[in-house]
Structure 1
Amino acid sequence: MALLTACGGSDSRSGEGTTSGKAADKLLPAYVASTVAKPDLPSKNGSSAGFTSKVDLAALQASVPKKLGTGAPLKIMSPLWGTPPKDGCAYYKAVDAAAGTNVTWQNQDGNTYAQKLGAVLASSSIPDMVVVPSWILVSNKLPSAVNAKFMDLGPYLAGDRVKKYPNLAAIPSDSWRMSIFGGALRGIPMPSAPASFIMPYYRKDIFDRKGYSVPKSADEFLSWAKDATSAKAKVYACGDMSWVSGSIFGAAPGWNIDADGKLRYGIERPEYLEALEWTRKLFDAGVVHPDDKARTGDAGQRFTAGQILVFNSDSSAWYTKTAEQAHANPDFRIEAMDIFGADGGNPTLYASAPATIWSMIRKGASKATVENALAAADFAAAPYGTKERMLVDYGVEGTHYTVKNGVPVKTDQGNSEVINAWTMLAAPAPYFAHPDFPEIARKQAEWQQRMGAFMKKTSTYGMNIVEPTRYASLSSQFEQLQIDYVRGNKKLSDVQAAISTWRSSGGDKLRDWYKELLDKNGSGN
């Protein structure tokens, strides 16, 4: 749940701690911004950039003039959501030919990737390149395995060495800083925009038809939700609001030095309990859909069906829901509410981590393997408006997409082959671009710009931190406890008791550990 945020990463021989400040700066690749395509909406307040103009597909440039790969074989393991393309499919062949690579994909079901990754890291047989998401590192206690199994990429990428790979050089430095594990640069990041907050989406078409005003405070939301809910008509105001309630109440995630100079963990702050209590009020008022209460089905589908009028998701839902409903329901309109402060004032928001997914190269890989893996990552990180980006995202014209009114439209073969394998290896600086719905890209970027104006960084921002293993399960009970409390199955006293137990069972000692870490490394804000 978004109210709690954990950190993963490492430093030192024990694998504990972090690397930041000047020590980290020495490990980072030089930053050289891409100049291939200029966004219509440049990044502002930590937002993604936005591209809203039509791209001249016939005039696309290459971001790297020559192939960087030498054709050496390369095995890559990556999570994939959906049905994996067949080996040797036209899409894989085309990207390999353009990048100079020879990839054998070991795509694994994204829903069960944690188990697969854990098993692979525990074995002696590791693919040449492996995609590692942060949420799996944290929940499966894998940071020490990362240090043991993946190589230091500093000799290939640190400082000016990265300039051999121009697209990797254009990845923001904060994202590279998050890629330091065990005192070495081990990860190639997929950058995230700091203003990547979970969005509270609403059905603008239904709001307009019903004459609803968009709520601007916690009390207004509850009042509107009661009016908008009709159990008889099977229409409910919202799904589970836990993912944004922390933002509404200004709950700082993780460890942070507060205004009074004291270091606290997220669960120790009054805003944490306030966010939980408000979320519970929504459940108690009967305005949350019964399936959200039971945690069954898909809230996104309930939203498009008009069974709930507000649901929470990441920025991608704005486009995917618009595209999905364009023909099935032409009146469908999705918008994101600006996050309001609980009292109706400005919100206090906390920056998202600048990277949460990395690709890593196994220790012991040959120089040829490493260079081909980096060539693949550089190709995957090509910026918007380039030949490489077009190929990665759409495949081959005539095979995987056709052009209608200057806009690429995927064919059935494109939809079955051009899915999220190559895009997991690396990514350019964050951006929004939807040639078929450019207005959505504008709205996404502008929403992040507005919300980014209220953004703060926590004291551990941008640090990849590995906590001592003795504290690994300290916070594990809280996710289920939060789920139970907001649904009325636990009392507030149960949550307060758990916080007291957390402190006495090691939380206070962990605080001392973090104090020492921040004294040594400096604060991320």
Structure 2
Amino acid sequence: MSQTHSPSRRTFLASTAVAAAVVGGVPLLSACSSEGGTGGKGGTTTGKDARKLLPAYTASRVVEPDIPSRNGSRPGFTGKAEPYAKLPSSVPEKLGKGGKVTIMSPLWGTPPKKDCAYYRAVDEATGVHVDWQPQDGNTYGEKLGAVLASNGIPDMVVIPSWEMQGKIPSAIDSRFADLGPYLSGDNVGKYPNLAAIPTDAWQMSIFSGELKGLPLPSGAVDIVIPYYRQDIFEEKGWELPTSAQEFMDLAEEITAPRAKVWACEDMKWTAFNVFGVLPDKPYCWEWQGEKLVHRVETDNYLEALEWTRKLYAAGVVHPDAMAVRGDAGTRFTAGQSMMTNDGNAKWYGWTFEQREQNPDFRVSGMDIFGHDGGDPQLYFANPAGIWAFINRKASKETVEECLAIANFAAAPYGTRENRLVRYGVEGTHYTLEDGVPTKTPQGVTETQDTYFFTAGSEAVAAFPDHPQVVRDWCGWQQRMGAFMKEPLLYGMQVREPNRWANLSDQFEDFEDDVVRGRKKVSDMQQAVEDWRKAGGDELRDWYRKLIDEVGESAA
């Protein structure tokens, strides 16, 4: 999903999560403390209590990466894919007992036929027959709300974090099963692939003091990337900037309107990283002395907006970004703009897209700098952002069938199970062409992301057709990870009280107005003052009490 401008927080999360199992920078308003899940008081689970609920972690050693994780980066795989028969298995014995379960999940595409060869193959491998009920991902929230309010909830339901709004969090509290008796501590040993899911992802699967969600893990360094056209930069001899002023100077050098070339697209999200702005809620608070301060109250926030506004005012941003029209990614790959920012899936996506029509095309991620030329201050991304939940009314046998499916789907990259889930049956749904799995027409139709959402293994970087992308991406993450820290309440599910849950929603649109010159920075300052009076100060007191009670992070 390309963005037409600086992506909205919701759209960015959806596009990157679906494209590459990544999540970043959005609110997760979906857990509460012992105060009660349905009363709207909100809260979270303490780190001490959470540790009692977490599955015992056991790393998978079935397949070792070529590039180990460092500073939170994704492990990388650069080798060619092996034929299915040569792959190791992470589920040597079927855990399913021949039962039948119903699963509802989002789908961006045309649903496969219920009796298609892909579904039959995975049913046979897991030992469980699944009646899939996929729903249009673009309108999933509407369908989700209706289903959760009914008496016809499927056995398993996939819920992305960006849909956890309105009454959805309360429905999670009341409608879904506690998986602790099946997975907490050593109980997870029956499901080794679930045991290998990083603990931070499980931490974010605790809702209302219970282990409820089966997570799709994200990469800790999966943040918005400032991309640049490396091929053109090398051709022109342009040097990468190392400060906010150098970026501005370079942008003015690059921009040539008569040649239909502009330096960049909307760079607001990069500005937030360059100026060390805090993430979105609930990680939007920091201590300044003894005062708890919201991201919108910080100097960093206003300075980031002012810098982005100056880019627009200088005429170095593509005019279509100013008008919020067209597609930023298309302009970037066409050479109309030299820099943009987007999710990590684009690194491979653009490279794959351009490989035939522009074989010299090369995109890379610019190292994020501090605005003054020093080190940047970055924040780790959310450990998970999509979960599968099991119906509270499901029998023990049905819960175990669902967990058998999740354990199969969470198989690590390079295993038979992962290949089957992602590509289907070799020779039917895909062929290996020079060590690259390539889907057949039948594979394109049938092997869509359905099982993929029921649980996931550790997020990795693996593109056998473009190993250089893996090396570049992993290297970028390793370098950026060295400057990352955990924000307050990191790794915790937090539900704000209902009366304040939407208090900060106005700021994203207001930001876009400020950077495009439609409003002044002083207008934003007034909006912040209005926010304080409308409940921001009360929300601050609530968060301060919460931190006093549960601690500053999930650790």
Structure 1 length-normalised TM = 0.96
Question: What is the CA distance between 1:404 and its match in structure 2?
Answer: 2.1
Cα offset, 1:55, TM superposition: 4.3
Stretches of 4+ aligned residues off by more than 4 angstroms: 1-5
Please name the residue that 1:446 is paired with: 475
State yes or no: 1:470 paired with 2:499.
yes
Tell me, what secondary structure is at the counterpart of 2:300? helix
| Matches for 1:333-348 after TM superposition, within 5 Å | 333-348=362-377
Residue 302 of structure 2 aligns to a residue whose secondary structure is: helix
1-side partners of 2:25 and 2:342: how far apart?
16
Letter in structure 2 aligned against 1:39? P
Partners of 1:178 and 1:362 lie apart in 2 by 19
Match of 2:67 in 1: 41
Which residue number corresponds to residue 238 of structure 1? 264
Q: How far apart are residue 64 of structure 1 and its match?
A: 1.3
Query: 2 CA distance for matches of 1:243 and 1:74?
Result: 41
The Cα of 1:20 is off from its aligned counterpart by: 2.7
Between the aligned partners of 2:320 and 2:453, the Cα distance in structure 1 is: 32
1:459 matched residue in structure 2: 488
- Alignment partner, residue 77 of structure 1: 104
- The answer to whether residue 76 in structure 2 is matched with residue 50 in structure 1 is yes
Deviations 1:489-519 (A, max 9, x none): 1111221111111111111111111111111
Tell whether 2:28 aligns with 1:7. Answer: yes
2:273–2:368 Cα contact (<8 Å) kept: yes
Shift of the alpha carbon at 1:261? 3.9
Give 1:415 deviation, angstroms. 2.3
State the AA in 1 paired with 2:183: L
The answer to whether the Cα contact below 8 Å between 1:48 and 1:445 also exists between their aligned partners in 2 is yes
- Structure 1 residue 13: deviation in Å? 4.3
Alpha-carbon shift at residue 141 of structure 1 (Å): 5.2
SS in 1 for 2:259: coil
In the alignment, structure 1 residue 187 sits paired with structure 2 residue 205: no
The secondary structure found in structure 2 opposite 1:26 is helix
Paired letter, 1:338: D
Matched with 2:90 is 63
Structure 2 residue aligned with 1:92, among 119, 122, 125?
119
- The offset of 1:4, in angstroms, is 7.3
Contact kept, 8 Å, 1:171 with 1:428, in 2: the verdict is: yes
User: In structure 1, the residue corresponding to 2:293 is in which secondary structure?
Assistant: strand
Query: Secondary structure, in 3 states, of the residue corresponding to 1:96?
Result: helix
Contact 1:29–1:169 (8 Å) recurs in 2 = yes
SS in 2 for 1:144: helix
CA-based RMSD: 1.7
SS in 2 for 1:232: helix
Verify the 8 A CA contact 1:383 1:429 in the aligned structure 2: yes
Give yes or no for contact 1:79–1:131 (8 Å, CA) kept in 2: yes
1:483 maps to 2:505 = no
User: 1: CA distance between counterparts of 2:58 and 2:321?
Assistant: 46
- 1:418-437 aligned within 5 A: 418-437=447-466
SS at match of 2:388: strand
Opposite residue 27 of structure 2, the aligned amino acid is A
CA-CA distance at 1:391 after TM superposition? 0.9
1:140 Cα deviation from its structure 2 partner: 3.7
Equivalent residues, number: 524
1:347-388 Cα offsets, whole Å, 9 max, x none, are 100111111111111110122221111111111110011100
Q: 1:115 aligns with which of 142, 147, 165?
A: 142
Per-residue CA deviations over 1:255-281 (Å, capped at 9, x if unaligned) read 333352432111111111111111111
1:117: how far off? 1.7
5+ unaligned residues in a row in structure 2: which ranges? 1-7, 10-23
**Residues 81, 437 of structure 2: 8 Å contact kept:** no
Pairing partner for 1:306 from 335, 338, 343: 335
Unaligned runs of 5+ in 1: none
> Taking structure 1 as reference, are residues 365 and 47 closer, same or farther at Cα in structure 2, changes over 3 Å only?
same
1:202 equivalenced with 2:232 (yes/no) = no
Q: Pick from 163, 176, 191 the counterpart of residue 150 of structure 1.
A: 176
Which of residues 137, 140, 157 is equivalent to 1:130? 157
Rounded Cα–Cα distance in structure 2 between residues aligned with 1:121 and 1:115: 10
Identity between Structure 1 and Structure 2 (%): 56
**Is 1:380 aligned to residue 380 of structure 2?**
no
Q: Is the 8 A contact 1:50 1:431 kept in 2?
A: yes
1-structure distance, mates of 2:351, 2:200: 32
For 2:243, the equivalent position in structure 1 comes to 217
Secondary structure, in 3 states, of the residue corresponding to 2:258? coil
